[in-house]
Protein backbone atom coordinates (compact mmCIF):
# COMPACT_ATOMS: atom_id res chain seq x y z
CA UNK A 1 0.00 0.00 0.00
CA UNK A 2 1.02 3.57 -0.47
CA UNK A 3 2.38 5.65 2.38
CA UNK A 4 0.62 8.92 2.00
CA UNK A 5 1.28 12.16 3.77
CA UNK A 6 -1.25 14.87 3.24
CA UNK A 7 -0.55 18.26 4.65
CA UNK A 8 -3.83 19.50 5.99
CA UNK A 9 -4.44 22.96 7.26
CA UNK A 10 -6.41 22.93 10.52
CA UNK A 11 -8.45 25.87 9.28
CA UNK A 12 -9.18 27.23 5.82
CA UNK A 13 -6.58 29.85 4.91
CA UNK A 14 -9.18 32.21 3.53
CA UNK A 15 -12.96 32.19 3.34
CA UNK A 16 -12.72 32.05 -0.45
CA UNK A 17 -10.71 28.83 -0.36
CA UNK A 18 -11.88 26.22 -2.85
CA UNK A 19 -13.57 23.51 -0.77
CA UNK A 20 -12.40 20.87 -3.25
CA UNK A 21 -8.77 21.58 -2.29
CA UNK A 22 -8.58 21.32 1.48
CA UNK A 23 -5.04 19.91 1.61
CA UNK A 24 -2.76 22.84 2.29
CA UNK A 25 0.32 23.54 4.31
CA UNK A 26 -0.75 25.52 7.34
CA UNK A 27 2.35 27.67 7.73
CA UNK A 28 5.36 28.55 5.63
CA UNK A 29 7.94 25.76 5.81
CA UNK A 30 11.22 27.58 6.25
CA UNK A 31 13.71 26.93 3.47
CA UNK A 32 17.10 28.55 2.97
CA UNK A 33 17.84 28.60 -0.79
CA UNK A 34 21.24 27.68 -2.18
CA UNK A 35 21.10 29.25 -5.62
CA UNK A 36 18.27 29.90 -8.06
CA UNK A 37 16.27 26.73 -7.32
CA UNK A 38 13.22 28.69 -6.14
CA UNK A 39 12.95 30.68 -9.38
CA UNK A 40 13.66 27.60 -11.47
CA UNK A 41 10.94 25.66 -9.73
CA UNK A 42 8.48 28.53 -10.07
CA UNK A 43 9.11 28.63 -13.81
CA UNK A 44 8.76 24.85 -14.08
CA UNK A 45 5.41 25.16 -12.33
CA UNK A 46 4.30 27.96 -14.65
CA UNK A 47 5.47 26.00 -17.70
CA UNK A 48 3.88 22.76 -16.46
CA UNK A 49 7.20 20.93 -16.39
CA UNK A 50 7.84 17.94 -14.15
CA UNK A 51 10.82 18.27 -11.79
CA UNK A 52 13.41 15.76 -10.58
CA UNK A 53 15.24 16.67 -7.35
CA UNK A 54 18.64 14.95 -7.20
CA UNK A 55 20.70 14.81 -4.06
CA UNK A 56 21.75 12.84 -1.00
CA UNK A 57 19.30 11.83 1.72
CA UNK A 58 18.54 14.51 4.28
CA UNK A 59 19.89 17.50 2.34
CA UNK A 60 16.66 19.50 2.11
CA UNK A 61 14.75 18.19 -0.95
CA UNK A 62 11.50 17.51 0.89
CA UNK A 63 11.68 20.79 2.77
CA UNK A 64 12.19 22.55 -0.56
CA UNK A 65 9.06 20.97 -2.08
CA UNK A 66 7.04 21.84 1.02
CA UNK A 67 8.26 25.41 0.79
CA UNK A 68 7.43 25.63 -2.90
CA UNK A 69 3.93 24.18 -2.39
CA UNK A 70 3.32 26.86 0.21
CA UNK A 71 4.78 29.58 -2.01
CA UNK A 72 2.71 28.52 -5.01
CA UNK A 73 -0.34 28.03 -2.80
CA UNK A 74 -0.86 24.47 -3.99
CA UNK A 75 -1.87 21.40 -2.00
CA UNK A 76 0.97 18.93 -1.53
CA UNK A 77 0.54 15.16 -1.75
CA UNK A 78 3.66 13.20 -0.81
CA UNK A 79 4.15 9.55 -1.67
CA UNK A 80 7.08 7.58 -0.21
CA UNK A 81 8.03 5.10 -2.94
CA UNK A 82 9.01 1.51 -2.22
CA UNK A 83 9.33 -1.65 -4.27
CA UNK A 84 5.84 -2.94 -3.42
CA UNK A 85 4.21 0.25 -4.70
CA UNK A 86 1.80 -0.70 -7.47
CA UNK A 87 0.17 1.37 -10.18
CA UNK A 88 -3.16 0.85 -8.35
CA UNK A 89 -1.66 2.32 -5.17
CA UNK A 90 -1.03 5.50 -7.16
CA UNK A 91 -4.10 5.56 -9.37
CA UNK A 92 -6.85 4.03 -7.26
CA UNK A 93 -8.97 0.93 -6.98
CA UNK A 94 -12.51 -0.36 -6.66
CA UNK A 95 -13.44 -1.11 -3.07
CA UNK A 96 -16.36 -3.19 -1.87
CA UNK A 97 -18.61 -1.40 0.62
CA UNK A 98 -22.10 -1.79 2.14
CA UNK A 99 -23.71 -0.35 -0.95
CA UNK A 100 -21.66 -2.26 -3.49
CA UNK A 101 -18.44 -1.51 -5.31
CA UNK A 102 -17.15 2.01 -5.55
CA UNK A 103 -14.07 3.64 -7.01
CA UNK A 104 -11.53 5.32 -4.70
CA UNK A 105 -8.97 7.68 -6.22
CA UNK A 106 -5.34 7.01 -5.38
CA UNK A 107 -3.08 9.91 -4.36
CA UNK A 108 -1.80 10.55 -7.91
CA UNK A 109 -5.32 10.69 -9.33
CA UNK A 110 -6.39 13.04 -6.55
CA UNK A 111 -3.45 15.33 -7.27
CA UNK A 112 -4.23 15.29 -11.01
CA UNK A 113 -7.86 16.20 -10.39
CA UNK A 114 -7.22 18.80 -7.68
CA UNK A 115 -4.20 20.52 -9.17
CA UNK A 116 -1.88 19.53 -6.35
CA UNK A 117 1.88 19.14 -6.36
CA UNK A 118 2.45 15.38 -6.25
CA UNK A 119 5.82 14.52 -4.72
CA UNK A 120 7.14 10.99 -5.17
CA UNK A 121 10.00 10.62 -2.74
CA UNK A 122 12.79 8.19 -3.74
CA UNK A 123 11.03 7.37 -7.00
CA UNK A 124 13.70 4.89 -8.04
CA UNK A 125 12.48 2.57 -5.29
CA UNK A 126 9.24 2.07 -7.24
CA UNK A 127 9.00 -0.72 -9.79
CA UNK A 128 9.38 0.16 -13.46
CA UNK A 129 5.77 -0.76 -14.29
CA UNK A 130 4.67 1.70 -11.60
CA UNK A 131 6.95 4.47 -12.84
CA UNK A 132 5.62 4.08 -16.38
CA UNK A 133 2.21 5.31 -15.15
CA UNK A 134 3.83 8.73 -14.73
CA UNK A 135 4.97 9.05 -18.34
CA UNK A 136 1.80 10.43 -19.98
CA UNK A 137 1.64 13.03 -17.20
CA UNK A 138 5.11 14.31 -17.94
CA UNK A 139 4.77 15.27 -21.60
CA UNK A 140 2.51 17.58 -23.56
CA UNK A 141 -0.49 15.26 -23.06
CA UNK A 142 -0.65 15.65 -19.27
CA UNK A 143 -3.14 12.82 -19.07
CA UNK A 144 -3.74 9.97 -16.66
CA UNK A 145 -5.59 6.98 -18.14
CA UNK A 146 -7.67 5.15 -15.52
CA UNK A 147 -7.86 1.75 -17.20
CA UNK A 148 -10.17 0.28 -14.56
CA UNK A 149 -12.87 2.95 -14.97
CA UNK A 150 -12.26 3.62 -18.64
CA UNK A 151 -11.65 7.34 -17.95
CA UNK A 152 -8.78 9.44 -19.19
CA UNK A 153 -8.14 12.40 -16.92
CA UNK A 154 -6.55 15.57 -18.20
CA UNK A 155 -4.44 17.08 -15.43
CA UNK A 156 -5.51 20.34 -13.85
CA UNK A 157 -3.30 23.19 -15.13
CA UNK A 158 -1.92 23.52 -11.57
CA UNK A 159 -0.93 19.86 -11.25
CA UNK A 160 2.80 19.31 -11.01
CA UNK A 161 4.77 16.12 -10.69
CA UNK A 162 7.94 16.23 -8.58
CA UNK A 163 10.16 13.24 -7.89
CA UNK A 164 13.32 12.85 -5.85
CA UNK A 165 16.21 10.49 -5.96
CA UNK A 166 19.61 9.98 -4.44
CA UNK A 167 22.08 9.34 -7.29
CA UNK A 168 25.06 8.27 -5.16
CA UNK A 169 23.08 5.69 -3.24
CA UNK A 170 21.19 4.31 -6.21
CA UNK A 171 24.09 3.98 -8.64
CA UNK A 172 25.08 0.50 -7.49
CA UNK A 173 21.56 -0.78 -6.87
CA UNK A 174 19.14 0.63 -9.39
CA UNK A 175 18.80 3.70 -11.47
CA UNK A 176 16.15 5.69 -13.23
CA UNK A 177 15.80 4.73 -16.88
CA UNK A 178 17.09 7.40 -19.28
CA UNK A 179 13.65 7.45 -20.93
CA UNK A 180 12.15 8.42 -17.57
CA UNK A 181 14.88 10.91 -16.60
CA UNK A 182 14.44 12.82 -19.84
CA UNK A 183 10.90 13.69 -18.88
CA UNK A 184 12.02 15.88 -15.99
CA UNK A 185 13.86 19.13 -15.40
CA UNK A 186 16.55 18.11 -12.88
CA UNK A 187 17.56 20.31 -9.95
CA UNK A 188 20.75 19.32 -8.12
CA UNK A 189 20.87 19.42 -4.33
CA UNK A 190 23.75 18.83 -1.94
CA UNK A 191 24.69 19.49 1.67
CA UNK A 192 25.09 23.22 2.23
CA UNK A 193 28.46 24.86 2.85
CA UNK A 194 29.53 24.90 6.52
CA UNK A 195 28.33 28.37 7.49
CA UNK A 196 24.89 27.85 5.96
CA UNK A 197 24.57 24.39 7.44
CA UNK A 198 25.43 25.88 10.84
CA UNK A 199 22.62 28.41 10.46
CA UNK A 200 20.17 25.70 9.38
CA UNK A 201 21.09 23.53 12.38
CA UNK A 202 20.67 26.53 14.73
CA UNK A 203 17.33 27.46 13.26
CA UNK A 204 15.93 23.92 13.20
CA UNK A 205 17.20 22.76 16.60
CA UNK A 206 17.49 25.87 18.74
CA UNK A 207 21.19 25.12 19.34
CA UNK A 208 23.59 28.01 19.93
CA UNK A 209 26.17 28.96 17.32
CA UNK A 210 29.10 27.26 19.09
CA UNK A 211 27.29 23.90 19.34
CA UNK A 212 25.92 24.03 15.80
CA UNK A 213 29.31 25.07 14.42
CA UNK A 214 31.10 22.24 16.26
CA UNK A 215 28.56 19.70 15.01
CA UNK A 216 28.92 20.88 11.43
CA UNK A 217 32.75 20.69 11.69
CA UNK A 218 32.42 17.17 13.07
CA UNK A 219 30.04 16.27 10.28
CA UNK A 220 32.43 17.52 7.64
CA UNK A 221 35.11 15.23 9.04
CA UNK A 222 32.68 12.32 9.22
CA UNK A 223 31.72 12.86 5.59
CA UNK A 224 35.32 12.17 4.56
CA UNK A 225 34.84 8.62 5.91
CA UNK A 226 32.88 7.93 2.75
CA UNK A 227 36.26 7.08 1.19
CA UNK A 228 36.85 4.54 3.98
CA UNK A 229 33.61 2.67 3.34
CA UNK A 230 30.90 4.69 5.08
CA UNK A 231 27.95 3.95 2.76
CA UNK A 232 25.85 6.98 3.68
CA UNK A 233 27.45 10.12 5.05
CA UNK A 234 25.73 12.08 7.84
CA UNK A 235 22.99 14.33 6.56
CA UNK A 236 21.80 17.73 7.68
CA UNK A 237 18.78 15.85 9.10
CA UNK A 238 21.05 13.76 11.38
CA UNK A 239 22.90 16.88 12.48
CA UNK A 240 19.63 18.53 13.45
CA UNK A 241 18.51 15.45 15.39
CA UNK A 242 21.82 15.41 17.28
CA UNK A 243 21.59 19.12 18.03
CA UNK A 244 18.02 18.69 19.30
CA UNK A 245 19.12 16.00 21.74
CA UNK A 246 21.92 18.25 22.99
CA UNK A 247 19.52 21.17 23.39
CA UNK A 248 17.15 18.90 25.33
CA UNK A 249 19.91 18.22 27.85
CA UNK A 250 21.51 14.98 26.61
CA UNK A 251 25.31 14.93 26.98
CA UNK A 252 27.13 15.70 23.73
CA UNK A 253 28.90 12.31 23.52
CA UNK A 254 25.65 10.39 24.06
CA UNK A 255 23.75 12.53 21.59
CA UNK A 256 26.43 12.01 18.94
CA UNK A 257 26.51 8.28 19.57
CA UNK A 258 22.73 7.86 19.39
CA UNK A 259 21.81 10.28 16.63
CA UNK A 260 24.93 10.47 14.49
CA UNK A 261 27.15 7.40 14.84
CA UNK A 262 24.74 4.51 15.42
CA UNK A 263 22.38 5.34 12.54
CA UNK A 264 25.33 5.45 10.12
CA UNK A 265 27.18 2.19 10.70
CA UNK A 266 27.47 -1.09 12.60
CA UNK A 267 31.06 -1.63 11.46
CA UNK A 268 33.29 -1.59 14.59
CA UNK A 269 36.21 0.08 12.76
CA UNK A 270 34.04 2.84 11.33
CA UNK A 271 32.19 3.33 14.62
CA UNK A 272 35.56 3.61 16.39
CA UNK A 273 36.82 6.15 13.87
CA UNK A 274 33.64 8.20 14.27
CA UNK A 275 33.90 8.12 18.07
CA UNK A 276 37.49 9.37 17.83
CA UNK A 277 36.33 12.27 15.67
CA UNK A 278 33.62 13.13 18.19
CA UNK A 279 36.20 13.11 20.99
CA UNK A 280 38.53 15.32 18.93
CA UNK A 281 35.77 17.82 18.17
CA UNK A 282 34.28 18.07 21.67
CA UNK A 283 37.33 18.04 23.94
P1 LIG B 1 15.60 15.07 1.95
O2 LIG B 1 14.19 15.23 1.48
O3 LIG B 1 16.63 15.61 1.01
O4 LIG B 1 15.91 13.67 2.40
P5 LIG B 1 14.79 16.89 4.05
O6 LIG B 1 14.18 17.95 3.21
O7 LIG B 1 13.88 16.05 4.86
O8 LIG B 1 15.78 15.98 3.24
O9 LIG B 1 15.85 17.66 4.98
C10 LIG B 1 16.13 17.24 6.29
C11 LIG B 1 16.05 18.42 7.20
O12 LIG B 1 17.15 19.29 6.97
C13 LIG B 1 14.81 19.27 6.99
O14 LIG B 1 13.74 18.82 7.77
C15 LIG B 1 15.27 20.63 7.45
O16 LIG B 1 15.14 20.70 8.86
C17 LIG B 1 16.76 20.65 7.15
N18 LIG B 1 17.20 21.36 5.94
C19 LIG B 1 18.08 20.91 5.03
N20 LIG B 1 18.35 21.83 4.10
C21 LIG B 1 17.60 22.91 4.43
C22 LIG B 1 17.44 24.21 3.84
N23 LIG B 1 18.13 24.58 2.74
N24 LIG B 1 16.60 25.08 4.44
C25 LIG B 1 15.93 24.72 5.55
N26 LIG B 1 16.05 23.51 6.16
C27 LIG B 1 16.88 22.62 5.61
pLDDT at 171: 53
Does 141 share its domain with 247? no
Q: Which atom of ligand 1 is nearest to the CA of 65?
A: 6
Domain tally, the chain = 2
Nearest-angstrom CA–CA distance, 254 and 260: 10
Please give the average per-residue pLDDT across 16-22, as a whole number.
Answer: 47
Index of the ligand 1 atom closest to the CA of residue 189: 3
User: Does one domain contain both 24 and 92?
Assistant: yes
Torsion of CA 18, 162, 124, 111, to 10 degrees: 20
Confidence at 172, pLDDT banded by 50, 70, 90: low
Nearest to 29 by CA among 82, 84, 72, 93: 72
pLDDT value of position 169: 63
Same domain, 208 and 269: yes
Are 253 and 278 spatial neighbours (Cβ–Cβ below 8 Å)? yes
Of 141, 118, 126, 138, nearest to 87 by C-alpha is: 126
Tell me: pLDDT of 56 over 70: yes
Q: Which of 155, 190, 225 is the last residue of a domain?
A: 190
Q: Are residues 173 and 200 in the same domain?
A: no
Does ligand 1 come within 6 angstroms of the Cβ of 200? yes
Q: Taking residues 89-99, what's their average pLDDT?
A: 94
What is the chain's length? 283
Asked whether 61 lines ligand 1 (CB < 6 A), one says yes
> Given a cut of 90, is residue 203 above it in pLDDT?
yes
242 lines ligand 1 (CB under 6 A): no
Substitution candidate for ligand 1 out of 28, 29, 58 with most atoms within 8 A of CB: 58
Mind listing the pLDDT tens digit for each residue in 117-169?
999 999 988 988 899 999 999 999 999 999 999 999 999 999 999 999 988 76
Report how far ligand 1's centroid is from the alpha carbon of 134 (Å). Answer: 26
The SS3 assignment for 236 reads: helix
* Same domain flag for 161 and 52: yes
State how far the Cα of 115 lies from the Cα of 158, in Å rounded to an integer: 4
Query: Which has the minimum average pLDDT: 19-33, 192-206, 231-245?
Result: 19-33
Residues 149 and 246 in one domain: no
Where does a domain end: 153, 171, 190? 190
Do 99 and 235 fall into the same domain?
no
Residue 32 has pLDDT above 80, yes or no: yes
214 shares a domain with 151: no
DSSP states along 122-188: TGGGS-HHHHGGGGGGSSTT-EEEETTTTEEEEPPTT-EEEEEE-HHHHTTT----HHHHTTSEEEE
CB distance 61 to 166 below 8 Å: no
Q: What is the CATH number of the domain that holds 57?
A: 3.40.50.300
- Greatest alpha-carbon pair distance for the chain in Å reads 68
> Which helix (DSSP H) or strand (DSSP E) does residue 103 occupy?
strand 100-105
- The per-residue pLDDT of the chain, averaged, comes to 90
From residue 60, give the alpha-carbon distance in Å to each of 31, 78, 145.
Answer: 8, 15, 33
Distance CA 79, CA 60 (A): 16
Same structural domain, 25 and 139: yes
CB 191 near ligand 1, within 6 Å: no
Report the distance separating Cα 275 and Cα 283, nearest Å. Answer: 12
Position 66 pLDDT exceeds 60: yes
Q: 24 CB under 6 A from ligand 1?
A: no
Question: What is the residue range of 78's domain?
Answer: 2-190
For residue 2, what pLDDT band results from cuts at 50, 70 and 90? very low
* Judgement on whether residues 212 and 166 belong to the same structural domain of the protein: no
Beta strands in 179-271, from DSSP E residues, in sequence order? 185-188
In the reported structure, the alpha carbon of residue 185 is separated from the centroid of ligand 1 by a whole-number distance in angstroms of 20
For residue 149 and ligand 1, the question of a CB distance below 6 A is answered with no
Together in a domain, 19 and 142: yes
For residue 168, what pLDDT is reported? 74
Does residue 11 have a pLDDT over 80?
Answer: no
Q: What is the mean pLDDT of residues 2-19?
A: 41
pLDDT score recorded for residue 177 = 85
Quick one: what percent of the chain has pLDDT higher than 70?
A: 90
135 in the same domain as 157:
yes
Does residue 67 line the site of ligand 1, with CB under 6 A? no
Bigger pLDDT: 214 or 10? 214
Q: Which residue, 140, 175, 190, sits at the end of a domain?
A: 190
Amino acid sequence: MVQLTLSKSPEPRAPSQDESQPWRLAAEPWYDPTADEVTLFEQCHAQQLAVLLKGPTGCGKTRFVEHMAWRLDRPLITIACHDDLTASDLIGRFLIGHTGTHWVDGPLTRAVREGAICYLDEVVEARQDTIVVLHPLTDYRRILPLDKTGETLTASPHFQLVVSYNPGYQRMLKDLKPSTRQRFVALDFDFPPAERETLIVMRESGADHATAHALVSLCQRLRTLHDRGLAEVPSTRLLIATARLIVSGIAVQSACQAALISPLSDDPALVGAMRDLVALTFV
